[in-house]
């Protein structure tokens, strides 16, 4: 049974992707499952979001202008944000920084994305539930 929008309410995912088309498609896909999606077009913008919000999952492209994914991971560690799970998405084969909990190689199936969101954001749904 597919899980609908109300099921994932309260779970915030930070999507960091420089390609506007990919960013919009992934955001729409996650929102269709009820996730709240914060978007950032580069690493610097992602760190600004992380200063004010703690997402249940960061989906991070590695190759971006301004600040790449490796630099974001280093800054997350320096800012004591290493407890936020990060899934790296990249067209580069074999690129999985040790800080990442998972890697999705572009192109990937939406079912892989949903599985990661479910795995790392289920606790956010519980804590956002009434009385939770």
Q: Reply yes or no on whether the pLDDT at 38 is more than 70.
A: yes
Residue 126: per-residue pLDDT: 46
Q: What is d(CA 26, CA 42) in angstroms, rounded to the nearest whole number?
A: 15
Residue range 42-96, pLDDT digits in tens: 999 999 999 999 999 999 999 999 999 999 999 999 999 999 999 999 887 766 7
96 is a domain residue: yes
129 is a domain residue: no
Q: In terms of DSSP H, where are the helices of 53-106?
A: 69-78
Domain count, the chain: 1
What is the CATH number for 57?
3.40.50.2300
Q: What is d(CA 82, CA 77) in angstroms, rounded to the nearest whole number?
A: 5
20 is a domain residue: yes
Give this prediction's pTM: 0.86
């Amino acid at each position: 049974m597919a899980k609908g929008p109300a099921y994932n309410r309260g779970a915030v995912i930070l999507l960091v992707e420089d390609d506007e088309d990919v960013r919009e498609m992934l955001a729409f896909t996650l929102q269709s499952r009820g996730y709240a999606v914060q978007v950032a077009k580069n690493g610097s913008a992602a760190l600004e979001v992380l200063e004010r919000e703690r997402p249940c999952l960061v989906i991070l492209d590695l190759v971006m202008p301004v600040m790449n994914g490796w630099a974001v991971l280093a800054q997350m560690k320096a800012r004591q944000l290493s407890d936020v799970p990060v899934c790296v998405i990249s067209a580069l084969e074999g690129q999985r920084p040790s800080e990442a909990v998972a890697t999705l190689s572009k192109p990937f199936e939406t079912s892989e994305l949903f599985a990661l969101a479910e795995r790392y954001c289920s606790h956010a749904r519980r804590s956002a539930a009434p009385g939770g």
